[in-house]
Amino acid sequence: MGKRGEPRKEVQVPVRIFGTDRTGAVFSQKAVTVNISRNGVELAGVNSTLKVEEIIGLTYGPNRAHFRVKWVGAPGSPRAGHIGLLNVSPGKPLWDFPLSPSAPDPWQPGMNERRKHPRYRCQNSIEIHIHNGPSFWGTVADLSLGGCYAELAIPMEVGTKVRVAIWFGEAKAWAEAEVAHRTPGFGVGIRFTQIAQMDLDLIGRYLESLAPLARKPLVAAALRAHA
């Protein structure tokens, strides 16, 4: 599993994890943290059989985030029932206690998942139209200029090409997109592949209304990069 270069906080708090296990069955169970960093967490008390690189959900109090399984403790070993998770949306707040600033962590290949566009929590309706297939409604849980996470129970495979419409009051922004990752039974991560400037501007204005003052320049800079 290698040695982390990222500071970790030894803390034990109850959490709940959910998703699909190695057999494809949906699971939801309680666990407890062992240590936490800004981008990852080690859990104990996990009795579900999970697959490395699968994405699962984790809730702590009212907060929720999605993590990629990076390692699973071997049965019969001191780490049986332990798993290591990497946050796929590290910018989203989850913990209600302070953590040490991040440092380089060379053993984690998933670090390249850090997105160039900041994401913001929201609750917007989204239409998802599969090319030459059915259409669905869902709820956008977080949004950026480059994509979103949509909560819906309909299973969709990674790589599925879709056309999406995100609603902002009486207006909506359209984009060609594809499914980037999925949490079966809970939702999908969607990456925009083609979007008109007026639709991008609509998303940008909405994000400006959500963003803390200190992060507004990031949204404006990203908009200029798309122009």
pTM of the model: 0.49
Residue 164: pLDDT over 90: yes
The two structure tokens encoding residue 98: 């302070």
Average pLDDT, stretch 23-40?
A: 89
Average pLDDT, stretch 19-44?
A: 89
Give residue 126's pLDDT band: very low, low, confident or very high (50, 70, 90).
very high
Give the C-alpha separation, 128 to 164, whole Å: 5
Average pLDDT, stretch 53-74?
A: 90
DSSP string across 176-201: EEEEEEEETTTEEEEEEEE--HHHHH
- More confident site: 79 or 135: 135
DSSP string across 50-81: --TT-EEEEEETTEEEEEEEEEEPPTTSTTTT
pLDDT, residue 30, reads: 92
Residue 107 DSSP code: T
Average pLDDT, stretch 12-40?
A: 89
